[in-house]
Amino acid sequence: MLPRLLRPAPLLVAMALAGPLVAGAPAAVAAIPIPTAVRMNVAPARDAIAPYVFTVTGRLVFRLPTPGGACAGVVSMAIKANGLPVLLKSPKVGADCRFTEVFRVPRRAKLHGARKLVIAGLWFRFGAPTSVIAPARTVRIR
């Protein structure tokens, strides 16, 4: 016997063709501009006396021209000692696409005998389809 072919109702076909043929994120999410890079600088590169104080400054980089309302979101940063997080901070990105944060690592922090600390950053914005990782920076202590 030949298999019986199922035919969809003509009304269902008409409704499917009348609707938009898009898949994926809604238009509001697709409109959020994503930076091409996140730049971070740390000063000083070395601190020998506790409490260890490091100032992290940075900016978001977009393709030119920068879209209006693009400079928003949060840069989530962590100082890690031997791969374990010591401090977590999340500065907001200003209207000029820049951010800054001061890390104070106290003497009593559990540094696990580390002589180097790694500062890692990640930009994200609620509703954005993706996030952008900043290159990690290494600083020396003691």
Q: Is the pLDDT of residue 102 over 70?
A: yes
Relative to beta strand 74-81, strand 116-124 is antiparallel
Please name the amino acid found at residue 68: G
Q: Is the pLDDT of residue 92 over 90?
A: yes
**Mean confidence (pLDDT) of the chain:** 84
Per-residue pLDDT at 26:
54
CA–CA dist 6, 17 (Å, integer): 19
Q: Is the pLDDT of residue 66 over 90?
A: no
**Cα–Cα separations (whole angstroms), residue 90 to 36, 55, 76, 131:** 20, 13, 4, 14
112 CB-near residues (< 8 Å, 6+ apart): 81, 82, 84
Per-residue pLDDT at 1:
54
Q: Which region among 22-31, 106-115, 124-133 has the lowest average model confidence (pLDDT)?
A: 22-31
Residue 28, SS3?
A: helix
Q: What is the mean pLDDT of residues 125-134?
A: 93
